[in-house]
């Protein structure tokens, strides 16, 4: 009774109107009798051309719509990586490149095998079919001549198939233009907010979106999540209450961050910072995953044609180990010289150029997110422990990547475009020196995940169970990239959207059966 008299009470409170949060809020409010509040730290993306135009994505990195998280010192990698995380409705789907891959069957089956019962490839297939995003292959008019020639050169170099529609069937290797979640006719995003929230935001009185409102602490009554404390744009402190459930969708950095500031996490760490322990949950912040990548850049003989969807429209998957489940090396092809990190080592950006960025689909290194202060405004520490796995699988993968990239670059029809290799440069050829280069200029594909990982109900390091309920708490689930038990071999956004769809199902089913989280 007490809850219902509180002014800011909703059936569900979704913390984070990002990729997964937008899906959940839209799905739950399909029922007009259900009320939902979305607490979103950023502004709306409606009418914002800078956000909605896909090809402008790079202009958003590091700007006012980016939380911009640094990493801790990375002794074997690049300590200067900035992890971009979007502060705007739609979350990272509003500033990413919208490359759209359904996770491979082997990705989901790995989740199921790790204890995520019900998340195998067969049951997950239905959630892909439900997605509202406009997922289409890069449009013909956006297919740049040099990207087409990269595809043909890879076909002429490697024993991989041409793929036209990476989501049509599972693959182990292949080269081709990506599927993107966009509208080719005007280059506008089909982000989570565009596809799920824009059509309903002004129509549904049962959906209330708090914009530029920051959630800083969960309200817990014993083990039950009652709501969340937020600070609005005007600096007002509010307690937003959930009659049924809180859904934490703040992403792989901010979901564990909010839990830790609410006293939910590893006891010793919380005590060391003087944060009162509400619930000792040792897995919070562990299992920090990412897709690290390196880069090889060529100067071209002259300017490249202008047309493109977002400057990285084609890519290549290789399976070096025939026993590996799915691809074990991926490349994005950029029709721009991507020298941001090499410039720190003294390389110069050519006026015209292209890049290939080999990345590690299934990296073995695991990192950790932790707090350094009890002050919620201090950014958490992200220690990815890049390239620290025991047998140096991750480092060796990038060296293989640079070697394969060089073979493709030597092959027509790409070779004729290229004037010289800018970095690492033709003199860098040995394994050791290639590895040193690859790791020092390493970048991220911007895929942090796994910090509140899902696992079996009796797995002590799991943060959520297979129904996404936080272990040991009531009335709260997590649904975003943080619940990934392992990294998908492919870019993760579609997987996150599917987590959102499944979460909405789980919440609906719980309510229908009279239960809750």
Ligand X SMILES: Cc1cc2nc3c(=O)[nH]c(=O)nc-3n(C[C@H](O)[C@H](O)[C@H](O)COP(=O)(O)OP(=O)(O)OC[C@H]3O[C@@H](n4cnc5c(N)ncnc54)[C@H](O)[C@@H]3O)c2cc1C
- Residue 30 CB, nearest distance to ligand X (Å)? 20
Tokens of 243: 């009659």
Each residue 332-361 as x (binds ligand X by CB under 6 A) or -, in order, gives ------------------------------
Single out the residue of 153, 316, 481, 506 in contact with ligand X (rule: CB under 6 A).
481
> Please, which residues have CB within 8 angstroms of residue 175's CB and are 6 or more apart in sequence?
151, 154, 155, 158, 160, 161, 162, 163, 314, 315, 316, 317
Q: Rounded distance, CA 312 to CA 57, Å? A: 11
Q: Does 496 bind ligand X (CB under 6 A)?
A: yes
Residue 195 CB, nearest distance to ligand X (Å)? 13
Collapse the DSSP code of 60 into the 3-class scheme (helix H, G, I; strand E, B; otherwise coil) and give the result: helix
Q: What does the alpha-carbon distance between residue 181 and residue 424 come to, in Å, rounded to a whole number?
A: 33
Q: Please report whether residue 137 would count as binding ligand X according to CB under 6 A.
A: no
Q: Which is nearer to ligand X, 100 or 517 (CB)?
A: 100
Q: Between 24 and 399, name the residue whose CB sits nearer to ligand X.
A: 24
DSSP state of 277: P
Measured CA to CA, the distance from residue 61 to residue 311 in angstroms comes to 15
Check the annotation: does 88 bind a ligand. yes
The reply to whether 17 sits near ligand X by the rule CB under 6 A is: yes
Per CB under 6 A, does 91 bind ligand X?
A: yes
163 binds ligand X (CB under 6 A): no
φ, ψ of residue 337 to 5 degrees: the values are -80, 110
Q: Which of 34, 51, 78, 85 binds ligand X (CB under 6 A)?
A: 85
Minimum CB–partner distance for residue 294 and ligand X (Å): 17
Is 20 a binding residue for ligand X by CB under 6 A? The answer is yes
Q: Is the peptide bond before 424 cis (omega within 30 degrees of 0)?
A: yes
Residue 430 is classified by DSSP as S
138 binds ligand X (CB under 6 A): no
Residue 16 or 358 with smaller CB distance to ligand X: 16
Query: Which CB atom, from 155 or from 382, has the smaller least distance to ligand X?
Result: 382
Q: What is the number of residues in the chain?
A: 517
Stretch of 34-42, 164-172, 367-375, 377-385 lying at the interface with ligand X (CB under 6 A): 34-42
- In whole angstroms, give the CA distance from residue 120 to residue 456: 14
Other CB atoms within 10 Å distance of the CB of residue 202: 10
485 is an interface residue for ligand X by CB under 6 A: no
Positions 230 through 269 that interact with ligand X (CB under 6 A): 249-252, 254, 258
Stretch that binds ligand X, among 81-89, 354-362, 366-374, 470-478 (CB under 6 A): 81-89
CB 137 within 8 A of CB 164: yes
Q: Could you say which of 492, 498, 501, 517 contacts ligand X (CB under 6 A)?
A: 492
Q: For residue 5, what are the contacts with CB-CB under 8 A and spacing of at least 6?
A: none
197 belongs to the binding site for ligand X (CB under 6 A): no
Sign of CA dihedral 265, 268, 272, 276: positive
Least distance from C-beta 480 to ligand X, angstroms? Answer: 3
Selected from 52, 54, 99, 503, the binder of ligand X by CB under 6 A is: 99
Q: Is the dihedral of CA 444, 38, 49, 103 positive or negative?
A: positive
Which positions are annotated as active-site residues?
Answer: 447
| Cβ atoms of residues 451 and 287 within 8 Å | yes
182 or 298: CB nearest ligand X: 182
Backbone angles phi and psi of 371, in degrees to 5 = -90, 150
Return the percent helix, strand and coil in the chain, to nearest 5: 30, 25, 50
Select the residue interacting with ligand X from 13, 18, 318, 424 (CB under 6 A): 18
Q: Is 44 in the site for ligand X (CB under 6 A)?
A: no
Name the residue nearer to ligand X (CB basis): 23 or 399. Answer: 23
CB neighbour class for 375 (10 Å; exposed up to 12, middle 13-18, buried from 19): exposed
Instruction: Please pick, from the candidates 44, 96, 187, 451, the single residue that binds ligand X as defined by CB under 6 A.
Output: 96
- Size of interface with ligand X, in residues (CB under 6 A): 39
Q: Which is nearer to ligand X, 15 or 441 (CB)?
A: 15
Q: State the minimum distance, in angstroms, from the CB of residue 96 to ligand X.
A: 3
CB of 332 to ligand X, least distance (A): 9
Which is nearer to ligand X, 36 or 399 (by Cβ)? Answer: 36
Q: Which of 9, 44, 71, 93 binds ligand X (CB under 6 A)?
A: 93
DSSP 344: G
Among residues 39, 146, 248, 316, the one that binds ligand X under rule CB under 6 A: 39
Taking the CA atoms of the chain, what radius of gyration do you get in angstroms? Answer: 22
Site for ligand X, residues 435 to 474, rule: CB under 6 A: 446-447
Q: Produce one character per residue of 483-501: b if its CB has 16 or more CB atoms within 10 Å, e if not.
A: bbbbbbbbbbbbbbbbbbb
Distances (CA, A) of 378 to 62, 371, 468: 17, 8, 27
Helix (H) or strand (E) holding 318: strand 314-318
Contact 11, 35 (CB under 8 A): yes
Quick check: 104 binds ligand X (CB under 6 A)? Answer: no
331 binds ligand X (CB under 6 A): no
Binding residues for FAD: 88
Residues found near ligand X in the complex (CB under 6 A): 15-21, 39-42, 84-87, 91-93, 95-99, 214-215, 249-252, 254, 258, 446-447, 480-481, 491-493, 496
């Amino acid at each position: 009774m007490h809850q219902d008299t509180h002014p800011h009470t909703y059936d569900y409170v979704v913390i984070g109107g990002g990729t997964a949060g937008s899906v959940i809020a839209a799905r739950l409010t399909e029922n007009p009798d259900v009320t939902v509040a979305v607490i979103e730290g950023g502004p709306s993306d409606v009418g914002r051309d800078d956000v909605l135009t896909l090809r402008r994505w790079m202009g958003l990195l590091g700007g006012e719509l980016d939380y911009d998280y640094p990493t801790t010192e990375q002794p074997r990698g690049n300590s200067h990586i900035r992890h971009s995380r979007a502060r705007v409705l739609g979350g990272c789907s509003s500033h990413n490149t919208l490359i759209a891959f359904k996770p491979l069957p082997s990705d989901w089956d790995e989740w199921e095998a790790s204890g995520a019962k019900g998340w195998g490839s067969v049951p997950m297939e239905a959630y892909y079919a439900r997605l509202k995003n406009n997922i289409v292959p890069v449009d013909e008019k956006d297919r740049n001549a040099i990207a087409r020639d990269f595809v043909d050169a890879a076909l002429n170099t490697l024993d991989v198939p041409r793929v036209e529609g990476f989501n049509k069937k599972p693959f182990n290797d292949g080269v081709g233009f990506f599927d993107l979640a966009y509208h080719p006719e005007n280059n506008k995003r089909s982000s989570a907010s565009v596809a799920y929230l824009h059509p309903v935001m002004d129509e549904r009185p049962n959906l209330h979106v708090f914009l530029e409102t920051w959630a800083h602490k969960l309200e817990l009554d014993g083990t039950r999540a009652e709501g969340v404390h937020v600070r609005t744009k005007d600096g007002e402190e509010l307690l937003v209450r959930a009659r049924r459930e809180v859904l934490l969708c703040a992403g792989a950095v901010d979901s564990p961050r909010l839990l830790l500031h609410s006293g939910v996490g590893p006891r010793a760490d919380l005590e060391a910072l003087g944060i009162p322990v509400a619930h000792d949950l040792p897995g919070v912040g562990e299992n920090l995953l990412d897709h690290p990548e390196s880069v090889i850049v060529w100067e071209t003989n002259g300017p490249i044609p202008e047309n493109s969807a977002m400057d990285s429209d084609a890519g290549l998957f290789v399976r070096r180990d025939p026993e590996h489940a799915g691809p074990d090396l991926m490349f994005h092809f950029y029709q721009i010289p991507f020298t941001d990190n090499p410039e720190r080592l003294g390389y110069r950006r050519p006026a015209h150029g292209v890049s290939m960025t080999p990345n590690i689909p299934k990296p073995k290194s695991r990192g950790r997110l932790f707090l350094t202060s009890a002050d919620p405004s201090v950014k958490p520490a992200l220690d990815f422990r890049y390239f620290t796995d025991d047998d140096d699988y991750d480092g060796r993968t990038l060296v293989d990547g640079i070697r394969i990239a060089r073979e493709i670059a030597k092959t027509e029809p790409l070779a004729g475009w290229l004037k010289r290799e800018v970095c690492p440069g033709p003199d860098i050829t040995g394994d050791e020196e290639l590895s040193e280069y690859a790791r020092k200029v390493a970048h991220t594909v911007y895929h942090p995940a796994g910090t509140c990982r899902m696992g079996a109900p009796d797995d002590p390091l799991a943060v959520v169970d297979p129904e996404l309920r936080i272990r040991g708490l009531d009335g709260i689930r997590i649904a975003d990239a943080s619940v990934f038990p392992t990294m998908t071999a492919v870019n993760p956004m579609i997987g996150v959207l599917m987590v959102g769809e499944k979460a909405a199902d789980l919440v609906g089913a719980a309510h229908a059966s009279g239960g809750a989280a």
